[in-house]
Chains A and B, each alone.
Chain A
């Protein structure tokens, strides 16, 4: 009985353990291709991993061939000389000048075209597009080349894409630029998008489809790329649509930044949660002129001390819904993100008795930018921005130009009719009246602000801030000396025109500038004259009347006497 059990166990062991090994080995032996004698001879040397040669440009070209991968390649049946036609068992030229790897791979492509003709390759639109600027080996490899079907089956989606895009391939654009479509796999893996399959964003692409597209320029490609970002980042895109950057984009400004301009190409995008400097470094690409003033600010000084809360560009200007600072008070909201309860804080000194209300400080905040006081060395001015009173929105320069029937070069001349280079109160009134007659009721909303963007960034500590009412509230204040008229352009930027100080003090400005007023410094001169006239009149009437009474006193005396008052 025991013998029978032993036999059964041995049989089972053979069936389950040894037989599969045998079958596998037999199959392997049966399917493993046999290399030609020539190949075996070549591999005699070229299987040496250290085998290489220096090219003319000093690059080192490895001459190693992995026999295993070659054996499993689709070309395993082709002898080495099938491709390397200048080399045979009998002839192996020792001196063969190769300038660079690029030249080598380009020549290799020529060899491929011996069998895979151009006509055949051009049938595939991707090949057709690539053929002039990429070598075959860049995507397909050298000796490890596999059949397309086998390659597709053996690779995941992303790996399949990378089989070409890991190479330094590029795409010619209509304007002559060359767009690199190289994807650095390690950067991709470490990027914010590292866990995504390529098709998550490039949904029109897959192992089976690769539409060929054409773009006018790299910027055109980036603009198109925003559509991909939008798929996941729709809320951010909506914010971006409110920005000056988007307005620039819509107006066709080639410098308008897209997602990739700030965040870098999607394959290397860092996470904004971890990269706390993105809101500074990306802005500096275009706004480098602001760097020095920011670095002179208390904000930057705090940052280099290690205070992570110290603001960078995006902290104040927002990351996506960035507005033109000249035409908005929203920039304050940036300050208020960190500096809480500022109305209450300023109410400690910015108050009006008998009741201290934060709204009094708020009234100042509405017309004075934070930087106007907190950037003590900055040059300041009064900016009167043109708004449509009915809509409450800025009246765009484009519309103004149409109404005035001029172009941007002729705008100042159209307003500054006396041609002295500065708009006076009468000229402002004429503009106001002219637009009113054309159905647009305008208003010039005033704001005290720093005159240069650099000044806006050079924020000092609060001990150095401009403080004290008389800095502004005096008829002879220097801070109200420079006055400008601001007209917003459709693309978000502004045209700034010089105006005279008297614009703030003229009776002609009461209607056009009716919402800007500063006690003591926007006095209407005519009223001052009227005050003096009234005082003189008020004094002259009693003096005149009293004098007449003195002169006529004899008449009264006589009359009293006549009545028998005096005997």
Chain B
């Protein structure tokens, strides 16, 4: 079984800070919103933690952005839109794998390498999250953090209730996403394979891929 160095240290650090931050933001966000039901912290403590974490994650986001831009690794997030049909087919194949193939023992059509880390579905969703949803969540979070300081932007989008609406809808999306994301992380060749890889950096190359690779070699011969 081969090991591929898939997750460099900066990416792993960013990922776990982000993951922890997301969980804290979701819990404190829920405390802020449902103060009559949840009683983990006082409103004031929840706001304090939420704001501190929000700023930490904002800094973390920029670290991520800087790292991926400077190392040109950002391209792993960009779907090959110059081959849209081929990309769509791959995405469909990936969806079919999660919906059916995984049940019947098909091999994962995607083979992660440092240059081609994400399968088409991951690529689209992570690009959307990193390029749009997180920046929007950061911006709307800042607007709610100090509506008066950012009043020109608040007025531009139509009012603070609109900023809250966007922030809450994304909060709902991220809350659901993080559960599904965690589940998908258990779909490696073993339950903890992907999770361990996110700590160690090394993804184990599943033997089916080796076999697949072998077949490919055989085909090419």
Contact = CB atoms under 8 A, between A and B. Distances in A.
B36 A538 contact: no
Interface string A195-237: 0000000000000000000000000000000000000000000
Contact of B42 (A357, A362, A443, A470): A470
B43 to A, nearest CB: 5
A469 B176 contact: no
Contact of B146 (A360, A473, A510, A541): A360
Contact of B172 (A468, A531, A560): A531
A535 B175 CA distance: 7
Given A535-B176, A542-B179, A546-B183, 6 more contacts: A363-B146, A514-B161, A520-B43, A530-B169, A535-B179, A556-B105
Contacts of B16: none
Interface centre among A357, A534, A559 (most CB of B within 10 A): A534
Contacts of B175: 531, 534-535, 538
Given A469-B47, A523-B33, A537 B146 contact: no
A519 B98 CA distance: 39
Interface string B170-181: 011101111110
A548 B183 CA distance: 14
Given A541-B183, A560-B105, A510 B35 contact: no
A359 B149 contact: yes
B33 A530 contact: no
Interface centre among A515, A555, A559 (most CB of B within 10 A): A515
Interface in A512-567: 513-517, 519-520, 522-524, 527-528, 530-531, 534-535, 537-539, 541-542, 545-546, 548-549, 552, 555-556, 559-560
Contact of B161 (A362, A366, A468, A516): A516
Interface residues of B, number: 45
Nearest to B171: A531
B148 A366 contact: yes
Contacts of A510: 161-162, 165
Interface in B142-182: 144-149, 158-165, 168-169, 171-173, 175-180, 182
A366 B160 CA distance: 13
Nearest to A541: B180
A475 interface: yes
Contacts of B102: 549
A36 interface: no
B119 to A, nearest CB: 16
A167 to B, nearest CB: 64
Interface string B84-123: 0000000000000010001111000000000000000000
A352 B145 contact: yes
A481 to B, nearest CB: 14
A522 B148 contact: no
Contacts of B180: 538, 541-542
Contacts of B34: 475, 528
B217 interface: no
Interface centre among A510, A514, A522, A559 (most CB of B within 10 A): A514
Contacts of A527: 165, 168-169, 172
B46 to A, nearest CB: 9
B51 interface: yes
Nearest to A516: B161
A549 B163 CA distance: 41
A513 B158 CA distance: 10
B48 interface: yes
Contacts of B159: 443, 514-517
A420 to B, nearest CB: 25
A357 B103 contact: no
Contacts of B164: 517, 522
A475 B35 contact: yes
B192 to A, nearest CB: 15
A344 to B, nearest CB: 14
A122 to B, nearest CB: 70
A542 B176 contact: no
Q: Enumerate the 6 nearest inter-chain pairs by beta-carbon distance, A residue then B residue, closest first.
A: A514-B159, A542-B183, A538-B176, A556-B105, A538-B179, A552-B103
A149 B102 CA distance: 123
